[in-house]
Structure 1
Amino acid sequence: MVVSSNSDLPVVAKIIILMIFLVAFYFALWYKDWRLHLATLTGLFSVTIIGIYEGSIMLFFGFTFADLIGRAQVKWHIASAMLAIALMFIIVLWVETGELFKIDDPIILPIMMIQLVFPVLIYYIEKAKNLKVELATVNTQLVKQDERQRIARDLHDTIGHTLTMIKLKTELTTKLVDKDPSKVKDELQDILATTRAALKQVRELVSDMNFISLESELSHCEKLLQTADIASKITNKCPKILLSSVEETMLSLCVREATTNIIKHSQAKSCHVEIDYIDHVYELNIIDDGIGLTNQGLGNGISSMKERMTILQGTATIDNLSNTGTLVSFKLPFQHYRKEPIK
């Protein structure tokens, strides 16, 4: 349309200006730095020349760059380009009407206003998109961090517990090599079985098969305490209440962690587990006669127990007894009357 028009501009000049327009559009389309700014100013200059010779109707081509200006990374690039748009309209209309700020065609004014507002609108749309991408990235990182913490906690509560048992049995086997070689074979079989159990725990952890029976865990912990020469006793005063799978699993892991702490740090000779149900609260207490919490910090295990019980809207407390030893208490408000399969 521009090349075939009857304006005073030579055809060669029209072709050159159109080439400048297209090259400027190409750079403005693919870049967001100083090249976008330079291409925008160059493109608006070519539109201005075309508008002077072909009429103010050519100012519609300003939308081509008004749409791209808002993607600039520097605000003053946007501001200067908006100023260039305003100058483009003023110059073309001045040449066309012979008077400054005179508009013959009423549609020109809204076109100019829209082209001036467009860059700001695009800028905030792009900013919102970038913010959304950044938030999605942060959320992904948080999810990954939570997953790492969960895996670390589960490894600590499951594999660490089993490895402690393997360590104790290995130490016992070392002592029996000279004193009672006939029992070494049995202990080695127990170590082998425990190792297989550890491998199974790894598979379950990887497969996210997290359900752990509280009854089986109490039995397992009782055997572990016996292996460590710690006398154990379990007193269950609780009626037959069915905990949900999640509640039972969380309590089992807490019992596992508490038992591991007793073996590692308490120097206890006996341990008593009491289970009761008082005023709609399921309560599980683990009492030992060791050295208590003296000079013992709140390590990862204690924090893990408290975190698990908080998830269940319950509580986990660890206190020194008046004479000697430690009381670990788990309290869980009872809310479910049937087991729900863990997802």
Structure 2
Amino acid sequence: MYDGLYKHFFSRVDAEQIHQLSISLLAGAGQFAPARSLLATTFSAHPTFPPINLWGKTFAHPLGLAGGFDKDARCLPALESLGFSFIEVGTVTPQPQPGNLTPRLFRLGEDSALINRMGFPSAGMTTLAQRLTNRANINILLLISLGKNKATALMEAVQDYTAVLNALYPFGDGFVVNISSPNTPDLRKLQTREYLSDLLSQLTQTIRTLAHDQSPKPLLIKIAPDLEWAEIDDILDLALQFGIAGIVATNTTLQRSNLKSIYQTETGGLSGQPLRQRSTEIIRYIHQHTEKKLVIIGVGGIFTGEDVWEKLSAGAALVQVYTGFIYKGPAFVKQALNELETRMRQSGITRYEDIIGIK
């Protein structure tokens, strides 16, 4: 059914209009228990292996939703009903901002990819805090992506990130420092040692203060796939120095290789199948060079259970999907998890954790 809708309707309408329609439908469905129950009955995954324990939290299975889909946390109950084990909301900025001019989202169907130049459209941290104050219908684990406003100078970016962390700390189970989007001018410079050292110092100190006598919530760094290995080494060194919990690998790429779509020349970050190999290479590199001291969340080109297996076996403990979810539809998690667990049984593996870094 979804394939037919995509072929005859979704593929012919502006990508962002379809996205906003999807968000509105999911937000509406999430307000009603019968609708949530129907979604769960129809689409939710049913893991048959033990859950994953990380940071004092229990993840039902490895598949989560990447940041950027539900930027303003409008449809968490419905997304939970679709079977994700965790969701990353945002990226959230201190002040509301509209993001870049439209059109800014493009489907590259021939390439199983997306290009976006959204530019952190955000309702702002105050609206997010109000929306997340009542999580009565939300039990899913929640990561919150931290960002800066476009108007904020790079030298003042630390204040933006710490402001969002302060405002939303009570509501997240973990936080992702997004310094790798290609769609905010100069943002990726924050990945350099010059800026990143101070940023991580301030954020980790803020978390220690907010945690009081509780265990600090995990802080992760989301990195770009276009970095050189030496640049990744610098990030890993700082992550270990400041006790960062993990790395999200990776964000979208600026590279364009062997694409077929007419949209291939659009500016912005490319996600989906063309990113799969590079993100897996980086996951494997991080796993091998940090002696398993950092948790890795793998992102990039996940469309099947075999793709999940690839990311986990390279060293990821969890994975996030976005483009694959757009193309495959609401049954994606159920299908991918079934495929992953079939592969596990064929390999004689009985725990998700046992896949991590096996090759």
TM-score by length of 1: 0.22
* Structure (1 or 2) with the larger CA radius of gyration: 1
Question: Higher relative CO (CA 8 A, sep ≥ 6), structure 1 or 2?
Answer: 2
TM-score by length of 2: 0.21
Higher share of residues assigned strand: 2
